[in-house]
Chains A and B, each alone.
Chain A
Amino acid sequence: MSRSTSRRIGGQGLWVWPPVAFVLVLVVVPLVYIALFSVGLRSNIPGTKTAFDLSNWKDFLFGENNPFRNLFWHSLLITVLVSVAVTIAAYPLAYFLSFVARKNRYTLLLLVLAPFFTSFLLRVIAWQIILNENGVVNSFLWWAHLRPQGDSVTWLIYSNFSVALVLFYSWIPFVALPMFVVMENMDRRLLEAAEDLGASRFTSFLKVTLPLSIPGIIAGFVFVLIPTTGEFITPLLVGGPESQLFGNQIQSFFSDSPDWNYGSVLAMTLILLVLILMLVFGRFLSADLRRPAAEVS
């Protein structure tokens, strides 16, 4: 890029502020309202006296055997397990695309990504159709006389299994992508050197490829972890009463209950969790927004 461009467009840095203001009004102010609700400074019930009050936070954080805190940890555990499973399953896909399918890799990558570009809600509904008690799987079993008519496999739906399966399904393509990018940028000469030095294919994978793809693995892991922490649609459609996640509890607080103050504590917790995750993993997520390094100097 030529230096003159930057000089010419230089006075236009102020253009960034209208979009920033837009985000401020529509994202940051709502988040601030959640924060105010969570400490009792605002209320949705007309006529309620509002005052700074940490009792909801205290109850959530320190209350004995608090069900919402338990649910938070339970959800986080499920989310982490699903993220790990997705990452493990997606790695061979990325490896395949980058190292085995060299010639057609972009076409094949598009094939993997294509379902991700279709409606998420529709795909969850499709799973519901597949897993239902009288759904595709069960009706197939009856039809093939593998099970007596009407006797369905009940854990297929409204269970932790169905929630985990659909979450797993939804995120695989998305996680394969950052891994693929990292592998594509790998210095292949290192691998050749390793093999020249007599390393077996497996050893060179273990000692060179795998360590070099760690940034991609972590990025992929975070790519699924962050959005699934707030997931609520999947449990709503394929989960039962015992397999609802933290996001569902937030949704429930704001749609069925008048206690938005307590609901805000949960909503805020989720935001803080995501910010902490960004703090820990942010460096692995590349977003090409700063000026290229060459120009900064």
Chain B
Amino acid sequence: MTDTNINRRQFLGGALGVAAGAGALAACGSPDSGTATSTAPSTAPSTSRPPIASEPGKMSLLDWAGYEAAGTKAQTAGMTVAGSDYIKKYGPDSVTYTYIENDDQALQKATASGGFDIMHPCFENFQDYVDRDLVQPWDLNLIPSAADIDPGLLAKGTKDGKTYMLPWDWGYGSLTYRTDHVDAADATGWELAWNPKYAGRISLWGGASTNFEIAAIKAGIQDMDHLTADQLETCKQDLIKQKPLNKFYWDSEYGQMQPAIKSGTVWIAYSWQDTLVSMKSAGVPVAYLDPSQGRIAWFCGFMLGKDTQNYYHAHEYVESFLNKAACAQMTNAYAYGTSNSKVTSADITDKALAASLHIDDLAALTGPTVHLQSWNPDRAKVLAAWQQVKAS
């Protein structure tokens, strides 16, 4: 047996020799792909575009779980209107979804794997998608309901006169907590997630930039998306301190975070207000924190993939989400706000909830008591700091 062993020097010598050879090859042979940017013109004249009948019709979407077009997923039970026009016409198999776990990962995914027909990122990454040349402008003439989008929001999705993002949904980020386990006296502000009393019962989101925003708001930093080096360091240290208190950083809202709150595994979790709605309807005693330092606010919208072969399909798809009926039902199902200015408080069924969350009032999104997640020019630094938090 021993005499047929591979001699380790032989093995390593061979392996290293091979590696060195290939290194030389890669170093001189390959084009400088790292620095080369593909600068193909992205604005093909619309006349050269094939008509809708010639498009493949199978669309791949990068979207948040729960936003699947009606009838394609069981968990959309609450939201049946949005997308239904499209699905009725093209069938539930005409769309496949890749889920966004968090904003940063979605951007990575869109950059690395690409090929999405439609993406649903949030405003904070609007500029990244445009700068990285992942998207192309929408043709608003093909989307009747685009006229109903709040002009202020639509302007935020527009750059150089071209509309890249069609805002659809808006809401808050805060902590949902179990009122049967958490003392009301402790539920004052973001420091609840740092309370050692609840160690192992807390779950922040795996979303790197959001966690830094939380730490920044908690520290009283005014501009959570423009941190100085010192502020970044402070936030990082604070998040490192908070890390052991988490059961886990959740990355799937319906799959992981909501079931954990329901089962009592987690008592305090970062969430959006839809969690409040679904926990209440499941009879779980929860409240949605109104932190003394203010909630996080966000809005998200549809972006059109740069290389989509389903240009007209994509426009029809978003119209089936942007129309008033779809927007009204989304607001009722998730207690999110909508970009559709035709939806009024008369359309909202739970008036008390609407009043407490101001979801019928777009001004709440940019009001003084909330922090709208916006583009961070130093996002790379934030993400690098987040890696350090995870490693610590």
Q: Among the listed stretches B161-169, B240-248, B319-327, which one makes contact with chain A, having 4 or more residues with CB under 8 Å of it?
A: B240-248
Verify if B391 is at the interface (C-beta below 8 Å from A). yes
By a CB distance below 8 angstroms, the chain A residues around B105 are 255-256
Contact of B8 among A43, A249, A257, A279 (CB under 8 A): A279
Give Cα A64–Cα B104 distance, bound, in whole angstroms. Answer: 28
By a CB distance below 8 angstroms, the chain B residues around A203 are none
By a CB distance below 8 angstroms, the chain B residues around A35 are 23
Interface majority SS (helix, strand, loop, mixed), chain B: helix
Q: Please tell me if the beta carbons of B37 and A241 are within 8 angstroms of each other in the complex.
A: no
Closest to B263 in A: A134
In the complex, which range does the number of interface residues on chain B fall in?
35 or more
Give Cα A49–Cα B37 distance, bound, in whole angstroms. Answer: 11
Closest to B32 in A: A50
Q: Which of A276-297 contact B (CB under 8 A)?
A: 278-279, 282-283, 285-290, 292-293
By a CB distance below 8 angstroms, the chain A residues around B19 are 28, 31-32
Verify if A115 is at the interface (C-beta below 8 Å from B). no
Give Cα A154–Cα B260 distance, bound, in whole angstroms. Answer: 13
Chain B 239-261 interface mask (CB, 8 Å, partner A; 1/0): 00001101111000000000000
Q: Please tell me if the beta carbons of A286 and B22 are within 8 angstroms of each other in the complex.
A: no
Least Cβ distance of B205 to chain A in Å? 12
Verify if A242 is at the interface (C-beta below 8 Å from B). yes
Give Cα A75–Cα B18 distance, bound, in whole angstroms. Answer: 29
In the complex, which range does the number of interface residues on chain A fall in?
35 or more
Verify if B34 is at the interface (C-beta below 8 Å from A). yes
Q: Please tell me if the beta carbons of B18 and A154 are within 8 angstroms of each other in the complex.
A: no
Least Cβ distance of B381 to chain A in Å? 9
Contact of A134 among B1, B3, B248, B265 (CB under 8 A): B265
Give Cα A106–Cα B362 distance, bound, in whole angstroms. Answer: 72
Contact of B249 among A42, A241, A258 (CB under 8 A): A241
If A24-B18, A33-B26, A36-B27 are given as contacts, then 9 extra A-B residue pairs at C-beta distance below 8 Å, sorted by A number, are: A32-B22, A35-B23, A50-B35, A132-B265, A133-B264, A241-B249, A248-B390, A257-B104, A278-B11
Residues of A within 8 A of B (CB): 20, 24, 28-29, 31-33, 35-36, 41-44, 46-50, 67-68, 70-71, 132-134, 150, 154, 158, 185, 240-242, 244, 248-249, 252-253, 255-259, 262, 275, 278-279, 282-283, 285-290, 292-293
A-B contact pairs, 29 of them (CB 8 A): A29-B26, A32-B19, A36-B27, A42-B33, A42-B34, A43-B34, A47-B37, A50-B32, A50-B35, A67-B388, A67-B392, A68-B391, A150-B264, A240-B248, A248-B390, A249-B391, A255-B108, A256-B104, A256-B387, A257-B208, A257-B387, A258-B379, A258-B383, A283-B8, A286-B1, A286-B2, A287-B5, A289-B6, A292-B3
